[in-house]
Structure 1
Amino acid sequence: MFLSSDFLNITTSPRGGLVGFDGERAANDQAGFFSLARNTVPNVSLGSVELGHVPMRWQHDLFPKHFHDKMYVCHDGIRCDILGPDPDVSVRLGRLEKALTREDEFITYIARNMERARGFHIMMRALPRILEEHPKARVIMVGGNETSYGVESKHPKGLRGEMEEELGNQVDWSRVYFVGRVPYPDLCKIMQLARCHIYLTMPFVLSWSLLESMAMGATIDTSDVAPVREAVTHGETGMLMGFFDHDALAAQVVDVLQRPDDYAHLGPNARAHVVENYDFKTRCLPEHIARMNSLLPATKQIRL
């Protein structure tokens, strides 16, 4: 039997991942045990499978050690053949009157939902300094206003409403575009036009958008946490900084915008890294098929 899992809190400890990471919104006493309970099925399943799969080394190491030899690490894969840089990209979004191009100085932030697990509150707190120190900069925020993971905001308008209330008139909101969830083709174009792409996450499963943005040659500022460090090397394929340090994030983004030539190597290096290690056709699919074939007789093996 073969088991593929994106679960990450399969662990003998009731802490780890999101649980206990954010001191600003401390988890309740039941959070860790709930995390264990929600992973009961894959935990039990691993006892009977011949081979298990996880997409990241960090996730692999969170499983109990007696399962480690039964699992292999390989990402699902990114379609680098269809995801790449486009210097002539343009996209028209929502209330914007004209199509956006690489000539515009846009910073992008993308998440399924604008929530704490994906650093939305840190991104928002970085906005005042970014917009003040780089007057031409504008920001595109992609994502819903719900909570997929972790603690929900108690504000009636969700975390976005909470942060807008906290920041008030410190931010020039006319330069910040909340576009909600967008069709995938537009999402790709947004990544392609970014002067700087911000990806933030607590220790959790990586968003595909990080690897996709790397495949498209984005200059990335991101969180210095274990899962991200598997994909991003500081100063080579992106820039890492402490998750909670919104001032450092703002300073780094401003520096990228003001000295683009000093960071011009990051995008091409990021793409090369993803092509080598995460490409679906040339790296990940062959590995998955080889692993599955190892469980099958020769007559039933999958052929590419």
Structure 2
Amino acid sequence: MNILLIHQNMPGQFKHLAPLLASAGHDVRFITKRKDIEIPGVRKLLYEPHREVRDSTHHYMRQFENGVLHGQAVTRICQDLRKEGWRPDLIMAHPGWGETLFVKETFPNSPLISYCEFYYSTRGADFGFDPATSTTFDDHCRIRTRNAHLLLSLELCDAGWSPTQWQKSRHPKPFQDKINVVFDGIDTGVASPNPNAKFVLDDGRVLTPQDEVITYVARNLEPYRGFPTFMRALPELLKARPNATVLVCGATGVSYGSKPKKGGTWKEVMLEEVGLEQVPGFDRVHFLGHLPYDRYISLLQVSTAHIYLTYPFVLSWSFMEAMSAGCRMIASNTAPVLEVLKEGENGWLTDFFDPNALVENVVRALEDPNAAEIRAAARETILGRYDLKTCVPKQLHMLERVSGQPVLPRKAKSAEAV
């Protein structure tokens, strides 16, 4: 088959599918903005919007204009492919940046699977969740229009794909029947317990699973992932666990939400607020920045207690990888965490906003006599429902059903193919 993948940040959620499809002999082409990556057997096609969103555009419509610009750039590449005589038998794309808006104008008969990661709402999810973030009626109206390109893309696609039931449920009910729920998949062979793991600090100290190590991971240290609550808990946590080393992994930018109003980074703001540098035990806290993947896995493998906090929003891969690594999970009682983690069964839940509760629950988890069984259950949860060997065959079945064509030779669809 001719298969077209579209994602501005290649490979995105097609990290596992793209090389698998290429290795099966399909002609796989990937439209993206990302220049610094190649996938063996996949032809990369770069695009760039021809201009930025104009300052004069109504602020409700800037996201939509940005989507139109991305969609135009992608469809120009699609038109070039059509002129070459190449037509996709299947298109898979992430619509979050507007890239799918016009692909059906060029390839009207090619089935399209759209990755339905999130649909914004003024109620029940991230918007207005944090009382520290004020919202106005103007914000409510802006959020409504933020979905314009997502709604058009949802109407356009032949099938949708969401990683969790909760993320599917955020989309408009008239379209939910076309959305399949399949998680992206976790490589449980890599994200796995390792009693011999080592994590070397900048000062040369080597941490192992025999040390008490409390970990926190986020792509960026920001409110959406509970960073303020984590920081406010640190002084009491250091006091309660005098032998613990705390590892904080994440960059200082913003992936979601907004930057601090007074400038700087959220790390700087929270360091100042809690006065952490004057707190006894501060030298046991290590801000590691963004880590290479292998070091990040080592961090999870030496973790004694792993903290994951999130707004009701997109579920992080790091949450699932930490469970796969057998971490002692202390996570916020928010969606979609609650879809995966059950209190006392495979982890411990805590209030997203309450730093004192976070300290209590970390201590509770560290002192729980059933911790070993709960950690094992966390890994079993991922092995049973979210492992690549479970998820990829479901994804392939979805591709076959939508395209009406076989994707892999039957024998290659076994677990060994993943």
Deviation at 1:6, TM superposition (A): 4.7
Residue identity matched to 1:293: E
1:92 paired to 2:92: no
1:154 paired to 2:261: yes
1:143 aligns with one of 250, 257, 275: 250
| Structure 1 stretches lacking a partner, 5+ long | none
Alignment-derived partner of residue 166 in structure 1: 273
1:177 paired to 2:290: no
Alignment-derived partner of residue 209 in structure 1: 318
1:278 paired to 2:390: no
Alignment-derived partner of residue 300 in structure 2: 191
SS at match of 1:46: helix
| Contact 1:9–1:36, Cα closer than 8 Å, also in 2 | no
User: Quick one: distance in 1 between partners of 2:321 and 2:137?
Assistant: 36
1:31-65 deviation digits (Å, cap 9, x = unpaired): 34443434322311221222111111111111110
| Structure 2 stretches lacking a partner, 5+ long | 1-110, 414-418
SS at match of 2:395: helix
| Contact 2:329–2:347, Cα closer than 8 Å, also in 1 | yes
Deviation at 1:275, TM superposition (A): 0.7
Deviation at 1:262, TM superposition (A): 3.1
Alignment of 1:236-247 (within 5 A): 236-247=345-356
1:2 paired to 2:112: yes
Structure 1 runs of 4+ with >6 Å offset: none
Deviation at 1:253, TM superposition (A): 1.0
User: Quick one: distance in 1 between partners of 2:178 and 2:317?
Assistant: 25
Residue identity matched to 1:5: Y
SS at match of 1:261: coil
| Contact 1:9–1:16, Cα closer than 8 Å, also in 2 | no
Q: Which has the higher contact order (CA 8 A, sep 6+)?
A: 1
| Contact 1:7–1:39, Cα closer than 8 Å, also in 2 | no
With structure 2 as the length reference, what TM-score do the two structures score? 0.68
Which of structures 1 and 2 has the bigger CA Rg?
A: 2
Deviation at 1:149, TM superposition (A): 0.8
1:177-203 deviation digits (Å, cap 9, x = unpaired): 001001000000001101100000010
User: Quick one: distance in 2 between partners of 1:71 and 1:278?
Assistant: 18
Output the aligned Cα RMSD.
Answer: 1.7
2:399 aligns with one of 272, 289, 292: 292
Deviation at 1:115, TM superposition (A): 0.3
Deviation at 1:146, TM superposition (A): 1.3
Q: How many residues align?
A: 298
Residue identity matched to 2:383: V
> For structure 1, which segment, 114-123 or 49-58, has the greater mean C-alpha deviation from structure 2 after superposition?
49-58
User: Quick one: distance in 1 between partners of 2:390 and 2:235?
Assistant: 41
With structure 1 as the length reference, what TM-score do the two structures score? 0.92
> For structure 1, which segment, 126-135 or 169-178, has the greater mean C-alpha deviation from structure 2 after superposition?
169-178
Alignment-derived partner of residue 224 in structure 2: 117
| Contact 1:78–1:211, Cα closer than 8 Å, also in 2 | yes
Deviation at 1:242, TM superposition (A): 1.3
| Contact 2:197–2:209, Cα closer than 8 Å, also in 1 | yes
| Contact 2:113–2:160, Cα closer than 8 Å, also in 1 | yes
Residue identity matched to 1:82: V
| Contact 1:197–1:219, Cα closer than 8 Å, also in 2 | yes
Alignment of 1:23-42 (within 5 A): 23-42=131-150
SS at match of 1:250: helix
Deviation at 1:120, TM superposition (A): 0.3
SS at match of 1:221: strand
User: Quick one: distance in 2 between partners of 1:69 and 1:144?
Assistant: 38
> For structure 1, which segment, 31-40 or 206-215, has the greater mean C-alpha deviation from structure 2 after superposition?
31-40
Alignment-derived partner of residue 232 in structure 1: 341
SS at match of 2:291: coil
